[in-house]
Structure 1
Amino acid sequence: MIDPEGRELLISVGAAVFTLRVALRRAGYDTVEELWPEPGDPTLAARVNLTRVVPVDAPTVALAAAIPYRHTNRWPFAQVSVSADMLGQLRDAARREGAVLIAIAPAGRDTVLDLAWGADRWLRDQPEYRRELDRYTDSRLRHDGVPVWAAGPCDALEVVPVRDFAAASPLHRHAEPFEPYPAIMVLATGYDAPIDWLRAGQALQRVLLTATWLGLATMPISQPVEVPAVRKALATRVAGLFPQIVLRVGYGRSQMAGGSPRRSLSEVLMKTG
């Protein structure tokens, strides 16, 4: 229901590929990646090959150090503007992986957030969506997903559409006022094929790790790219590119949510050769 074409799944795979690249580079190895290396095997999205031993540079050290600390923050951010320099570093991070990260100007921010709210309401009206979300967040059925402690409150000001990951929990989800003027960015690509989704995922992870390194908090807002009509409308705000994810960026406050569970390497990594 949420991801019928597997677009967001491949974005997640791309993010994992980038993390692997950083970890290997931090260990002193250069790498070459192959996306869809076996045309006859649609289940093999990427292959990462070691090439040679190389010196470790400072950016790699910083990105690798950010890996254990990177997580989504679904809580209110401090009402402090993110500097143009930091936003520029995030844009550069996306560019290095072949994507475009667009900071939405204040004049267009409300439009993008309105699209996100419209998509969120439409999704919540779909019974299949509710059932799928409940399965993903029910700790009795799985050891991953989004637990209650990472779900965060809803926005009392109704500015930021925070997906309700706590609906399956008996605990009450309270409301708090979020920052009234959030920094909103859209990650986009020039094309929209599966290989572009993988590249978008690598760009997204470089952006998120860079943000963590800079001391910034991030929250993906994926509802507007999960409803085709809304995603098409969002594309008009990003110069006709294909929007892959919307990001909220800022400074987390003291009640930042902890990281959600991760699967073990044995479940997601396959050695070859």
Structure 2
Amino acid sequence: MKHQSDTALQQLLTRCVRAAGSAPSLHNSQPWWFRIDGDTVEVHADPARRLEVLDPSGRELMISVGAAVFTLRAAIRGAGRIPDFDVFPDPELPNLVARVRLGMPSPPSAMARALADAIPLRHTNRRPFHAAVVPADDLARLREAAAFEGAILTVAGAAGRTIIVGLGQAAEQRLRSHTGYRAELSHWTRPVTGRRDGIPATAIGPWDALERMPVRDFGLVNAPPVRRSEPFEAYPTIMILATGGDRPHDWVCAGQALQRVLLTATRAHLATTPISQPVEVPAIRELLSGPGSAHHAQMIIRLGYGEPAPVTPRRPLAEVLHEDQPR
């Protein structure tokens, strides 16, 4: 009987780890691996998958792993168990980002079930959105989702939106001039047979005909032979996700909040695009945060209504679920 129980537990956690692997990450780098130990899942950062040019501090790596932590929590809750978790539980293991344990059985609420159901439906959408206005009630729910995870989400007004778009363009120009940027971009967009990470050509999206939207231009390298140009929405809905601190704990917090926001948006049939260029340039990130501000900008999110986005590939479970990984 105990063997059957252990097997069922292993199967449940394995399903939840598979779901966690669908979390968003910078350039779909999927910089994580997992280990199941009894009723606990360890979530580890994989520093070998950090983007050295764009992310020298590892901030975006931790945001990505934080998103995987929240996805794991949401999957466990949707399966009828209450997850209990610790962030950076062992000072001697800085790449052990979290331990997530199965708590008591409890039927999930309608919201918890909806978040879990949204996991396989969430995809980054780099295409133009429709002009329809996002309802205020939905924006309020997104702000509540971020606050639930200890982050701050603000909607940019007309003036703020113009500033953010301008800063995004400036950041993209600075990044393009950075030594190694194109090579790093090429590495994560290079077509390789059987590849299960990176950004495939199908997910790159069209050119912005007016070159105004701060969506990363993956077409700089390895672009499709003929890439169409389309006008993006004139008045995008843009939100800034921020945290009260700017240390690894805060970055993981930002990642968990980001994924809760993205899954909440998916529930509302909203398309989303996390935008990171403006927060990848320190001087521009400081302008976004506000000099002397107590809040630190971690990510920009564009959202609206759009056509379904293509699925990006995911590494097989055998690559991310390690049984005897050295620590």
The counterpart of 1:225, out of the listed 279, 298, 317, is 279
- 1:123-272 superposed matches below 5 A: 123-140=175-192, 142-166=195-219, 167-236=221-290, 240-253=294-307, 256-270=308-322
CA contact (8 A) 1:149 1:257 kept: no
> Which is greater in Rg?
2
Equivalent residue letter for 2:176: R
Q: Secondary structure at the match of 1:45?
A: strand
- 1:78-157 superposed matches below 5 A: 78-140=130-192, 142-157=195-210
Q: Secondary structure at the match of 1:127?
A: coil
Displacement of 1:205: 0.2
Root-mean-square deviation (CA), in Å?
1.7
Q: Which residue number corresponds to residue 65 of structure 2?
A: 13
Displacement of 1:59: 0.5
Displacement of 1:158: 2.1
Q: Is it true that 1:74 corresponds to 2:129 in the alignment?
A: no
Q: Secondary structure at the match of 1:140?
A: coil
Q: Secondary structure at the match of 2:102?
A: strand
Rounded to whole Å, the distance in 2 between the matches of 1:193 and 1:124 is: 27
Displacement of 1:17: 0.6
Q: TM-score, normalised by structure 2?
A: 0.79
| CA deviation string 1:27-72 (max 9, x = no partner) | 1111111111110011211110112111111001101111111001
Displacement of 1:266: 3.3
CA contact (8 A) 1:102 1:238 kept: no
Equivalent residue letter for 1:138: R
Structure 1 gap ranges (5+): none
Displacement of 1:228: 0.5
CA contact (8 A) 1:155 1:176 kept: yes
Rounded to whole Å, the distance in 2 between the matches of 1:214 and 1:119 is: 30
Rounded to whole Å, the distance in 1 between the matches of 2:130 and 2:61 is: 31
CA contact (8 A) 2:201 2:224 kept: no
CA contact (8 A) 1:14 1:200 kept: yes
Rounded to whole Å, the distance in 1 between the matches of 2:210 and 2:291 is: 24
- What is the number of equivalent residue pairs in this alignment? 270
Structure 2 gap ranges (5+): 1-52
Rounded to whole Å, the distance in 1 between the matches of 2:281 and 2:89 is: 30
Q: Secondary structure at the match of 2:187?
A: helix
Rounded to whole Å, the distance in 2 between the matches of 1:270 and 1:84 is: 43
Q: Which residue number corresponds to residue 12 of structure 2?
A: none
| CA deviation string 1:188-242 (max 9, x = no partner) | 0000000110011000000000000000000011000000011011111995410
Q: Secondary structure at the match of 1:131?
A: helix
Structure 1 residues 239 and 86: CA distance shift in structure 2, 3 A: farther
Equivalent residue letter for 1:61: R
Displacement of 1:165: 2.0
The counterpart of 2:98, out of the listed 46, 57, 65, is 46
